[in-house]
Amino acid sequence: IVLVTGAAGQIAYSLLYSIGNGSVFGKDQPIILVLLDITPMMAVLDGVLMELQDCALPLLKDIIATDKEEVAFKDLDVAVLVGSMPRREGMERKDLLKANVKIFKAQGSALEKYAKKSVKVTVGNSLERLGIGDHFLNITPIALKLGVTADDVKNVIIWGNHSSTQYPDVNHAKVKLQGKEVGVYEALKDDSWLKGEFITTVQQRGAAVIKARKLSSAMSAAKAISDHIRDIWFGTPEGEFVSMGVISDGNSYGVPDDLLYSFPVVIKNKSWKFVEGLPINDFSREKMDLTAKELAEEKETAFEFLASA
């Protein structure tokens, strides 16, 4: 049983077909798909339901559209929490936090009350989707510059927040050139670009998309969520890691305890583990600390909003 919240929204519209056609959970995994949205969106959600029915996807054994949390969260195996207020042009992150903190408090309570204890949860909206979308964002400029495909680049890292402080780190990344794996720094031979324009491009990509589309990214967000869930479900290939926003334990890479921070992780048997022991240079340390500081401030703000809610 798979739940997608905000199912009448633009990210879900790009995501639901991938879930239904086997791209996420595999071509032999039947699915009961639950679609949740707020009551004013139910007419739109009915349209989404009709389209999914018209796709006649054989893996979809049932599709349930609802505005009731007690129906949506019952006995879930996977929850994809997309539903939230999207970020709009000119909107401050603090405004977004205030709007969304109540939504996620309610959904957290519903998960605790109704879902299976083994439920896998990914938060997939523009504010909280950490790590994996930026992980691929990180790969693309490098692949383009080297004239290779994204599949030829591995072990890039996004550290920290999904914001303009996120730090795309390629110190440990490898690229396949002429059948041989080499370090990205060695392959590009352009340190000033990697430490300057490349980082800025990745950090500002979300804002650039909003400026161009007048809407937050949906297609790339849906692709990121699909890849994120598939990695959790099937694991990471041997010798490779991905970036995911997970709760820090206070012992990894000097990140304070209990922050939702993007780290490099490996996944096996549907469980993730930190990639430990990667050397961190002074340039990286400064960037990692800066994004941790912002996350700590956002966490404090969120808890203030919760206390006054």
User: What does the buried/exposed string (b/e) look like for 236-259 if buried means 16 or more CB atoms within 10 Å of the residue's CB?
Assistant: beeeebbbbbbebeeebbebeeeb
Tell me how crowded residue 113 is: count the other CB atoms within 10 A of its CB: 11
- In sequence order, what are the beta bridge partners of 154? 174
Asked whether the beta carbons of 5 and 72 are under 8 A apart, the reply is yes
- 123 annotated as ligand-binding: yes
Mind spelling out the 3-state secondary structure of 39-97?
HHHHHHHHHHHHHHHHHCCCCEEEEEEECCHHHHCCCCCEEEECCCCCCCCCCCHHHHH
Active site residue 135: no
- 209 annotated as ligand-binding: no
Assigned token pair, 43? 């007419």
- 138 annotated as ligand-binding: no
Assigned token pair, 149? 């495909």
- 281 annotated as ligand-binding: no
Measured between its terminal Cα atoms, the distance across the chain in Å is: 31
Catalytic residue, chosen from 135, 162, 172, 228, is 162
CA dist 261 and 248 (Å) reads 6
- 125 annotated as ligand-binding: yes
What angle in degrees, to the nearest 10, is found between the helix axes of 132-146 and 197-213?
Answer: 110
Asked whether the beta carbons of 285 and 291 are under 8 A apart, the reply is no
Annotated binding site: 37, 100, 123-125
Annotated binding site for NAD(+): 37, 100, 123-125
The catalytic residue positions are 162
